[in-house]
Amino acid sequence: MRFVLNQLRAARLFCAALIICSLSINGCGSLPTKSDQASHRSPDSVQGSELARIFVDRANTDTTHSGFILLRNGDRALYERAALADIAEHTIDAQYYIWNSDRSGRYLAQKLIEAADRGVSVRILLDDFSIGNRNQQILAVHSHPQVEVRVYNPFVKRSGIAKWFNFAFDFERLNRRMHNKTYTVDGTAAIVGGRNIGDEYFNHNEQVNFRDLDVFTVGPVVTDVSTEFEEYWTSPWAIPIDQIVRSSSDLSERERLAELIEKQRVDSLDLLFPVKTTSPRAHFLRSVEELVWAPATFVYDRPGGDDKTAYPEGPKRVASHLLQLAGTSKEEVLVESAYFVLDDLGLDLAGQLRDRGVRMRALTNSMASNDVLPNHASYAMVRERMLEEGIELHELRPDARSCLDSVGRRSFCDSDSFFGLHAKSAVFDRKTIYVGSCNLNLRSAYLNTEVGMFIESPVLAEKLTAQIEVNMRPENSWRPLLKDNNVVWRVQENGEETIVPYEPHTGFRERFKEGILTLVPGAEYY
Complete DSSP assignment for 91-153: EEEEEES-B-SSHHHHHHHHHHHHHHHTT-EEEEEEEGGGTTT-HHHHHHHHTSTTEEEEEES
Query: Mean pLDDT throughout 439-454?
Result: 96
CA contacts within 13 A on the Cβ side of 28: 20
Catalytic residue among 65, 142, 181, 376: 181
Q: Summarize pLDDT for 149-174 with one digit per residue, the tens.
A: 999 999 988 888 888 888 888 888 88
Give tens-digit pLDDT for 257-314.
666 666 656 554 554 554 455 789 999 999 999 999 999 999 999 998 666 555 556 7
Q: Is residue 420 scored above 60 in pLDDT?
A: yes
Q: Which of 90, 376, 394, 424 is catalytic?
A: 424
Reported as half-sphere exposure (CB side, CA atoms, 13 A), residue 299 has a value of 24
Task: Select the more confidently predicted residue: 23 or 215.
Answer: 215
Nearest to 269 by CA among 207, 205, 196: 205
Coil vs helix vs strand at 372: coil
Q: What is the pLDDT of residue 1?
A: 38
pLDDT band at 7, cuts 50/70/90?
very low
The whole-angstrom separation of Cα 253 and Cα 196 is: 28
Catalytic status, residue 179: yes
**Strand ranges, E, within 225-373:** 238-240, 292-294, 296-300, 332-337, 359-365
Bridge partner residues of 294 (DSSP): 66
* DSSP characters over 376-405: HHHHHHHHHHHHHTT-EEEEE-TT-TTHHH
Contact, 17 vs 165, CB < 8 A? yes
DSSP code per residue over 247-259: ---SS-HHHHHHH
**298 compared with 410, residue with greater pLDDT:** 298
How large is the average pLDDT for residues 127-139? Answer: 90
Residues 503 and 207: their CA atoms lie apart, in Å, by 22
Question: Which residue in the list 163, 429, 463, 505 is annotated as catalytic?
Answer: 429
Decide which of 58 and 238 is more confident.
Answer: 238
pLDDT at 273: 53
Q: Which of 18-27, 107-116, 392-401 has the lowest mean pLDDT?
A: 18-27
Model pLDDT, residue 165: 84
Residue 23's pLDDT is what? 39
308 labelled catalytic: no
Catalytic member of 186, 214, 224, 399? 186
Alpha-carbon torsion angle 112, 117, 122, 127, nearest 10: 50
Q: How confident is the model at residue 94 (pLDDT cuts 50, 70, 90)?
A: very high
- Amino acid occupying residue 524: E
Is residue 283 part of the annotated active site? The answer reads no
pLDDT range class, residue 469, cuts 50, 70, 90 = very high
- Tens of pLDDT, residues 70-89: 999 999 999 999 999 999 99
pLDDT digits (tens, 9 = 90+) for 224-267: 999 999 999 999 999 999 999 988 765 566 666 666 666 656 55
pLDDT of residue 238: 97
For the chain, give the percent of residues with pLDDT over 70.
83
The model's pLDDT over 366-398, given as tens digits with 9 standing for 90+, comes to 999 998 889 999 999 999 999 999 999 999 999
Asked if 57 is an active-site residue, the reply is no
Neighbours of 299 (CB within 10 A): 22
Q: What is the pTM of this model?
A: 0.90
270 is annotated as an active-site residue:
no
pLDDT at 478: 97
Are 355 and 497 contacting, i.e. CB atoms less than 8 angstroms apart? no
Instruction: Confirm whether 111 is a catalytic residue.
Output: no
Name the more confident of 254 and 451.
451
Contact 449, 304 (CB under 8 A): yes
- DSSP tag of 370: -
What pLDDT shows up at residue 74? 93
| pLDDT at residue 8 is higher than 80 | no
